[in-house]
Structure 1
Amino acid sequence: MDECTGLPKEKAGEFDELPPPSGEETQFIFLRLNILREYLEKELWMTGLPFPFDLERAIDDWVFMCFFVGNDFLPHLPSLQIREGAIDRLQKLYKKAVYKTGGYLTDSGIVNLERVQLIMTDLGEVEDEIFKQRRQNELNFRRNQKERNKRMKLDHNFVKGSLLEPQAISRNVTRTSAREIVNARHSSTVSQQANVAAAQALKATFASSGSTGNQSRDGLGMKRSHDDEEEDEYEKLDKTDTVKLWEDGWKERYYEHKFDVPGDDEEFCHKVAEAYILGMCWVLRYYYQGCPSWDWYYPYHYAPFASDFNEVAKMPHEFELGTKPFKPLEQLMSVFPEASGNFLPPSWRELMGSIDSPIIDFYPTNFRIDLNGKKYAWQGVALLPFVDEKRLLDTLKEVYPNLTKDEKKRNSLGPDRLFVHKNNALFSFLKELYDSDALDKDKINVDVDPSLANGMRGTVGYDEYICFPGGTKKCPVPALEDVTHNNVLSVSFKDPQYPVGHLFPAKQLPGAKPPGKVLKPEDFDRVNRGGGRYRPQLGFQRDSGYRGGSFSSMTAQRTIRSKWKSLWSSKWRSKWRSR
């Protein structure tokens, strides 16, 4: 694990044009949640409340507010962008609401909509100001960028005729047409190709020894045309932006162009806001209590405005109980395009492309991407049709009889599988269950002893694909190696089951022992009176070695890790080049 230093990532190749080596370990940035909690405690702390401050409840509310800025299930509100300090803005409104209402927004995943409406109302009052300031910031950015380009051109004039003279590189190499991009994967591929081509062109430039004044003028001329074209792109973006949130009448234009309804249809605006806030309740409950309903979905491509949440306080936000998720193949039919139909049974695949299919409209080969004020297609909104669950399932009933035995098995919802190493404390317990035939082949029937599983609870049963220590396990993925000298045992596993409606309290468990504080205490300087610098706990444990000096300095550690990673990466890169 590398310490995050804030430095740029190491280049793969001279110009970062090489793909990552096959088998290279993925690099992560590790976030210590106990330190994040300390920061949140400092940010969320409120004094003078008519009730005791509860950090757990405040953090839960903070999580809920972050969902307005972005989550995996709903588009973010137009007035909330994280780079504009949206979370800080919500935090200020939140504290104001807590003082005013005398309570928190959420409780164990259940939302108090009256208090949420108060925050949204306050946010709605400054939406117009937010949009105008966003536009001003954008214009300032464009102007500064133009001035920066001018300065760069003047700097290049001092190296006319030299090897450092700027040369014209075809813009077709470095620019990507929006029409070509339909998803992020394509964008990534094109970007990689552009890097390679640009690197080759730049190398050729430096290798050339015949630079002349005419070439310099051509190069500078191309640079000027590139600047002009960049400015034209901004003008084109402004022309295609039909909403213009920074101009009066923005709300009416937004609903007319994004939802295709009259801009003064307040009933529809409230309908969208209710659907959105119901989605927010679903998202929070999903993370805190488990999926509240498998039938819910947000039926619009765009979010409402904060000012539209003025009638959500009393709306019901309960969900239908007893719903079930789609089966695996049904899920694939819901999310795959026709081009991925090879992963489905033949008769199911035909429903995606046959002109006679009753659900052919679910799988368009061409669809619109609304840039929605953004510059790149991958940032836009893909205007795909919503899948009608009833139509899909009714149609699939006709092709279910065509499934083979293996396909039926593949389409079923089975248990989880637990793999335990032979050196784990739980291994002997599970092996004894197999040796004594105590595991039922038809059901998961034996409780796990939590003392053997680091406190994990659940029940286990016989695994029909049992994995026993010894021998070789063949890998089902052709590109990966088989597992030789297997050392694990497998069982079927089921999480603890709770009755419908059970509420998991969102609070620290009794006996929880938080790690030592890392951040400097507020009163440290006053109490310490210059008696030495504050030394935080840097490792994951109190006696991690950092304090006592048993570890080498952090700089030395980073150097060692960096050199080792470079050697390891060059080894893989040389293999890649030799192919």
Structure 2
Amino acid sequence: MGVPAFFRWLSRKYPSIIVHCLEEKSKECSGVRVPVDTSKPNPNEVEFDNLYLDMNGIIHPCTHPEDKPAPKNEDEMMVAIFEYMDRLFNIVRPRRVLYMAIDGVAPRAKMNQQRSRRFRASKEGVELAEEKHKMREEVIQRGGYLPPEEIKERFDSNCITPGTEFMNNLAKCLRYYIADRLSNNPGWRNITVFLSDASVPGEGEHKIMDFIRRQRAQPNHDPNTHHCLCGADADLIMLGLATHEPNFTIIREEFKPNKPRPCSLCGQMGHEIKDCQGMAKEKKGEHDEFADSIPVSEQEFIFIRLSILREYLERELTMASLPFPYDFERSVDDWVFMCFFVGNDFLPHLPSLEIREGAIDRLVGIYKDVVHKTGGYLTESGFVNLERVELIMQAVGVAEDNIFKKRKEDDVRNQSSAGPGDQDSRGMKRKAEDSDSEPEPEDNVRLWEEGWKQRYYKTKFDVDVTDDEFRKKVVKSYVEGLCWVLRYYYQGCASWKWYFPFHYAPFASDFKDIKNMFTDFEKGTKPFMPLEQLMGVFPAASGNFLPTSWRALMSDPDSSIIDFYPDDFAIDLNGKKYAWQGVALLPFVDERRLRAALEQVYPDLTTDESKRNSLGSDVVFVAKSHPLCDFIIELYHAESHEGTEIPAELCHGILGTLNLDDDPILPNKPVESPIPMLRDISQNSAVGSFMDPQYKEDYIFKAVVLPGAKIPNKVLKPHDWEQSNHRPWRPQLGFNPNRQQAHLDQSGFRYGHGPSQSQHRGGPYSNAPPPSSYHQGNFHRGQPSSYSL
């Protein structure tokens, strides 16, 4: 969704949703490190029930970090992943469930974006290597100094895709990690751990949402469960709102733009590779250590409180004198839907709507203006009313001409006023030499001039604007996409094969007569198999992750699908300045042609490759002390055990069907470490089993707050509304001994600093004032919820 732009906009407009995480640190006693006891009350003074980890947001920064030295090998990568998860567990301290979700095979709509990212990564890797080689020669010819070139195989991050050996090994390592923590960490012993690895189809965050929706449908579900979801993607905010769970928090790294990075040629800070002069590093003194080393600072975390965001939205979306009953939950769903127009992973955003230009505020304003004409809400539990959506789009369309002209005026104004070190309109630092070394890209569309629609369709689609049938085709596909995306967020994947077959979006003013453009999606579609997805998203340069005969289809000139794997491709900047913002003009993969080609090489798969190409299920793990442990152990000894239902009273009301693992982790059975630097688990007390959640196939998720749910008390005060939209968010960092003792706000989070917190680095912050009461729902000061174990 354009993560930096959306989150920056959200945190500035609604600053009180952000709270800094308190993190207790391990201590040293007589030279021995004493780990944090995570069974003790949470230092943030709110007890979370369930923690969900969107694992790909952890795997990527741990395997190829941008701001510190990369791990030397795969073993170090796995250890870094373990340490990252330990930090999150320490901060959140879930009392019921830990759910780890790794991206599995994605719907076809997402595969197109994955394909673009992976081809870009491969292209950028080649270009960087060529630039480094060229600059190295130039610097050495000038007599500059450069450290010897390391002969080191570049880590190809494309391996973080379902079906690769890397992902298979990661799943094994995570099983070991779970068994170790359940056996040895007191904070883990009463929780239920779910691992949804890359063999389970679906994106990580959507597997998490599916789990939440399925559990909400169970009769024993606690409507006051406090959820915490870890991930940096902006769509997690939308997904959290879409659950209509009153207690939902997101934890993510604090976003710090423009973090300094070392020159990739000499390793020193302060310049980019193109400006490298090959200067020798300065020594600290008598020792052979250099002053100009890479600064490594531990990333801090923040909480995003969706209960406070709901409070902001309740005030912003409230509408009086409606011709129909006002329903805040329905208006939240409409807000989520309107955000899709400014960007998502499945559709290009409409040309006239940019987050940085206040597009969401504009949509909300139009929504409130025309709601009397619509006669009702735009959406209902993930289903779209297209007749009402058309009224919104037509209102945006009327303003498109002025939007484009104002955008040009703003660009000209910003360019004329920006000097060295100033910020440009995209929030990126401009350099003094930009006007000479980086000329503005030529814009042949010129949306700010008359005739913009004709030029757009001719340039982007190579058709004349008078071709009404083609424009209707594009709009129809986009309308289908809007219906698919909303269904995906609220009900799950409606079609594994649908995708938007164009690189560009239509205009808002093109949305005419859309009421009957969509009926429903094809039933019964199935996901790709893992190796099939690799063939659909990988460039030929990453073919080494595929079986030999499969990778030949990517590079053999006589391959029937060789056109799917271009060595080079154009990137259309599409009015942007930087290549990463542009549109990669890659050919779309024809599924029928791909499957026909793969039929010829399927027989070549080895046993291990066939296993990696299969689809799996979630695995559930518990410790020996957990009430469910004995029940699972009995299943392994019973004659008939497949498809056994979990008794709800043994697992916090969680229901599902258990199936046994061929190579299970069982109590008192040693667990061998897959990582040589880590010890084997000789006294294992964990047990694992496959689990499929119970769910009626015809079940429709109701986007409502469940009966019995306690809505958190209001926290925001009048001055918070004044700050909204007027003051950029600024974190209150550092310990202030003069500030009052810490308080809890009514959403259960600590507010302010106190002397008792001086052992913590930094401290929490909130822009909401301290409330008069410390009690809210199940949470009491320093005490776990009534369901905590």
TM-score range, shorter chain: 0.7 to 0.9
Asked if 2 retains the 8 angstrom alpha-carbon contact of 1:518 and 1:537, the reply is no
1:382 is aligned to 2:613: no
Asked if 2 retains the 8 angstrom alpha-carbon contact of 1:463 and 1:492, the reply is yes
1:538 is aligned to 2:742: no
The aligned amino acid for 1:231 is S
Q: Helix, strand or coil for the counterpart of 1:419? A: strand
Q: Helix, strand or coil for the counterpart of 2:303? A: coil
Any idea what the Cα deviations from partners look like across 1:355-394, whole Å, max 9, x if unmatched? 1110000111110011111111111111111000000001
5+ long unaligned stretches in structure 1: 152-222, 525-534, 563-579
Q: Matches of residues 3-402 of structure 1 in structure 2 within 5 Å?
A: 27-146=300-419, 227=432, 229-232=433-436, 235-237=439-441, 240-402=442-604
The aligned amino acid for 2:388 is R
Match of 1:532 in 2: none
Number of aligned residue pairs: give it. Answer: 464
Match of 1:210 in 2: none
1:2 is aligned to 2:33: no
5+ long unaligned stretches in structure 2: 1-19, 23-252, 263-267, 271-291, 423-429, 722-741, 766-789
Cα distance, 1:270 vs structure 2: 1.9
Match of 1:198 in 2: none
- Paired with 2:255 and 2:552, the residues of 1 have a C-alpha distance of 51
Asked if 2 retains the 8 angstrom alpha-carbon contact of 1:241 and 1:373, the reply is yes
Percent identity, aligned pairs only, is 53
- Paired with 1:537 and 1:126, the residues of 2 have a C-alpha distance of 45
1:512 is aligned to 2:714: no
Asked if 2 retains the 8 angstrom alpha-carbon contact of 1:2 and 1:558, the reply is no
Asked if 1 retains the 8 angstrom alpha-carbon contact of 2:307 and 2:747, the reply is no
The aligned amino acid for 2:689 is V
Structure 2 CA distance for partners of 1:561 and 1:294, relative to 1, 3 Å: closer
Cα distance, 1:428 vs structure 2: 3.0
Would you tell me which structure has more strand in proportion to its own residues? Answer: 2
Asked if 2 retains the 8 angstrom alpha-carbon contact of 1:539 and 1:546, the reply is no
Cα distance, 1:415 vs structure 2: 1.9
Asked if 2 retains the 8 angstrom alpha-carbon contact of 1:372 and 1:381, the reply is yes
Cα distance, 1:53 vs structure 2: 1.1
- Paired with 2:484 and 2:448, the residues of 1 have a C-alpha distance of 32
Asked if 2 retains the 8 angstrom alpha-carbon contact of 1:517 and 1:536, the reply is no
Q: Helix, strand or coil for the counterpart of 1:75? A: coil
The aligned amino acid for 2:659 is G
Alpha-carbon RMSD across the aligned residues, in angstroms, is 3.4
Cα distance, 1:557 vs structure 2: 4.9
Asked if 2 retains the 8 angstrom alpha-carbon contact of 1:120 and 1:307, the reply is yes
The aligned amino acid for 1:260 is D
Cα distance, 1:97 vs structure 2: 2.5
Any idea what the Cα deviations from partners look like across 1:4-41, whole Å, max 9, x if unmatched? 999889979995886686xx976443211111111111
Match of 1:528 in 2: none
- Paired with 1:10 and 1:383, the residues of 2 have a C-alpha distance of 30
- Paired with 2:466 and 2:656, the residues of 1 have a C-alpha distance of 55
The aligned amino acid for 2:701 is F
Residue number among 751, 762, 767 corresponding to 1:559 in the alignment: 762
Structure 2 CA distance for partners of 1:10 and 1:58, relative to 1, 3 Å: same
- Paired with 2:708 and 2:645, the residues of 1 have a C-alpha distance of 24
Asked if 1 retains the 8 angstrom alpha-carbon contact of 2:479 and 2:518, the reply is no
- Paired with 2:581 and 2:256, the residues of 1 have a C-alpha distance of 26
Asked if 1 retains the 8 angstrom alpha-carbon contact of 2:571 and 2:579, the reply is yes
- Comparing 404-413 with 469-478, which one deviates more in the overlay? 469-478
The aligned amino acid for 1:508 is V
- Paired with 2:564 and 2:535, the residues of 1 have a C-alpha distance of 9
Any idea what the Cα deviations from partners look like across 1:234-290, whole Å, max 9, x if unmatched? 7542xx211111111111111111111123222212211111111010000011111
Cα distance, 1:471 vs structure 2: 5.5
- Paired with 2:254 and 2:599, the residues of 1 have a C-alpha distance of 56
Cα distance, 1:313 vs structure 2: 2.0
- Paired with 1:396 and 1:381, the residues of 2 have a C-alpha distance of 29
Structure 2 CA distance for partners of 1:406 and 1:7, relative to 1, 3 Å: closer
Residue number among 690, 710, 716 corresponding to 1:492 in the alignment: 690
Q: Helix, strand or coil for the counterpart of 2:708? A: coil
Q: Helix, strand or coil for the counterpart of 1:248? A: coil
Any idea what the Cα deviations from partners look like across 1:304-339, whole Å, max 9, x if unmatched? 110111121222231000111111111111101111
1:404 is aligned to 2:606: yes
Q: Matches of residues 442-521 of structure 1 in structure 2 within 5 Å?
A: 445-470=643-668, 472-476=670-674, 485-499=683-697, 501-520=698-717
Larger CA Rg, structure 1 vs 2: 1
Asked if 2 retains the 8 angstrom alpha-carbon contact of 1:40 and 1:59, the reply is yes
TM-score of the aligned structures, taking structure 2 as reference length: 0.54
- Paired with 1:29 and 1:49, the residues of 2 have a C-alpha distance of 38
The aligned amino acid for 1:64 is F
Asked if 2 retains the 8 angstrom alpha-carbon contact of 1:518 and 1:536, the reply is no
Structure 2 CA distance for partners of 1:493 and 1:267, relative to 1, 3 Å: same
Asked if 2 retains the 8 angstrom alpha-carbon contact of 1:270 and 1:311, the reply is no
Asked if 2 retains the 8 angstrom alpha-carbon contact of 1:416 and 1:493, the reply is yes
- Paired with 1:302 and 1:18, the residues of 2 have a C-alpha distance of 44
Q: Helix, strand or coil for the counterpart of 1:270? A: helix
Structure 2 CA distance for partners of 1:18 and 1:34, relative to 1, 3 Å: farther
The aligned amino acid for 1:423 is S
Q: Which has the higher contact order (CA 8 A, sep 6+)?
A: 2
Match of 1:173 in 2: none
- Comparing 92-101 with 367-376, which one deviates more in the overlay? 92-101
Asked if 1 retains the 8 angstrom alpha-carbon contact of 2:531 and 2:546, the reply is yes
Match of 2:178 in 1: none
Asked if 1 retains the 8 angstrom alpha-carbon contact of 2:743 and 2:751, the reply is no
The aligned amino acid for 2:716 is L
Cα distance, 1:430 vs structure 2: 2.0
Cα distance, 1:342 vs structure 2: 1.2
- Paired with 1:332 and 1:262, the residues of 2 have a C-alpha distance of 36
Q: Helix, strand or coil for the counterpart of 1:31? A: strand
Asked if 2 retains the 8 angstrom alpha-carbon contact of 1:517 and 1:537, the reply is no
Asked if 1 retains the 8 angstrom alpha-carbon contact of 2:669 and 2:684, the reply is yes
Cα distance, 1:72 vs structure 2: 0.9
Structure 2 CA distance for partners of 1:10 and 1:414, relative to 1, 3 Å: closer
Match of 1:423 in 2: 625
- Paired with 1:480 and 1:57, the residues of 2 have a C-alpha distance of 51
- Paired with 1:522 and 1:232, the residues of 2 have a C-alpha distance of 46
Q: Helix, strand or coil for the counterpart of 1:491? A: strand
- Paired with 1:25 and 1:428, the residues of 2 have a C-alpha distance of 41
Any idea what the Cα deviations from partners look like across 1:200-227, whole Å, max 9, x if unmatched? xxxxxxxxxxxxxxxxxxxxxxx9xx74
Match of 1:188 in 2: none
Structure 2 CA distance for partners of 1:12 and 1:71, relative to 1, 3 Å: closer
The aligned amino acid for 2:551 is R
- Paired with 2:563 and 2:254, the residues of 1 have a C-alpha distance of 50
Cα distance, 1:481 vs structure 2: 7.0
